[in-house]
């Protein structure tokens, strides 16, 4: 479900089939990489499908990385509370956060959210951003991707970091895209943070660097 990797040694973990990676220029990653390379001993929270490439890269810079694949968890029926007397079902948000976003008091300097928010059920969006705000250190940074549109090529993906301004995208499952976000919607989700900056992209993804 989630794991914590500390130290500065290269670490390996299974992350599924490593074929089919598609390179994508990312201005947001270029900006965040500068911060990672300029600081020491940061705690990084990577919210997305586990990538051994990301673990190796982040730990090679001397940082610690914590992984949380919450899309897989959110898709499980165990979090759905059946409605009574014809009422619609609800989502056990408190139990989901306690199970999947309990970091044992750890705070993070960097969060990489990827496009995770777009694959989460609506009831989880505000609580997840509130919890990220809670565990991100003041002045800490978050990189987040959001889908502006969808296409037949859109798929749930694993994102791999590189030492350039490119991230490599690899299909990681068949989870449906649940959200498409306008700038206004993104701004509303990030309203508790002190600052955010949008980066233009040529594809359907919006990139945002967020400061706590």
Ranges of each domain in the chain:
18-80+88-211
Predicted confidence at residue 177, as pLDDT, reads 94
Domain range 18-80+88-211, its CATH number among 3.30.300.30, 3.40.50.150, 3.30.750.24, 3.50.50.60: 3.40.50.150
What local confidence, expressed as pLDDT, does residue 111 receive? 98
> Mean pLDDT of successive 10-residue segments in the chain (212 residues)?
44 45 95 96 96 96 94 93 86 94 92 96 95 96 93 88 96 92 93 93 89 96
pLDDT at 14: 38
Q: Which of 26, 23, 22 is nearest to 201 (CA)?
A: 26
According to DSSP, the β-strands at 64-68 and 43-47 are parallel
């Amino acid at each position: 479900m989630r794991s914590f990797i500390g130290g500065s040694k290269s670490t390996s973990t299974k992350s599924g089939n490593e074929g089919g990676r598609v390179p994508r220029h990312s201005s947001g990653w270029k900006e965040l990489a500068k911060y990672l390379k300029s600081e020491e001993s940061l705690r990084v929270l990577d919210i997305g499908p586990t990538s051994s490439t990301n673990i190796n890269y982040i730990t090679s810079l001397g940082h610690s990385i914590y992984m949380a694949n919450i899309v897989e968890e959110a898709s499980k029926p165990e979090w759905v509370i059946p409605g009574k007397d014809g009422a619609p079902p609800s989502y056990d948000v408190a139990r989901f956060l306690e199970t999947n976003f309990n970091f044992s008091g750890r705070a993070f300097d960097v969060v990489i959210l990827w496009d995770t928010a777009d694959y989460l059920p609506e009831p989880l969006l505000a609580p997840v951003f509130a919890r990220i705000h809670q565990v991100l250190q003041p002045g800490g940074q978050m990189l987040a991707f959001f889908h502006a549109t969808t296409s037949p090529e859109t798929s749930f993906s694993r994102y791999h970091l590189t030492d350039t301004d490119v991230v490599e995208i690899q299909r990681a499952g068949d989870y449906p895209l649940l959200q498409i976000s306008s700038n206004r919607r993104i701004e509303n989700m990030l309203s508790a943070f002190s600052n955010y900056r949008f980066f233009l992209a040529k594809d359907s993804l919006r990139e945002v660097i967020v400061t706590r």
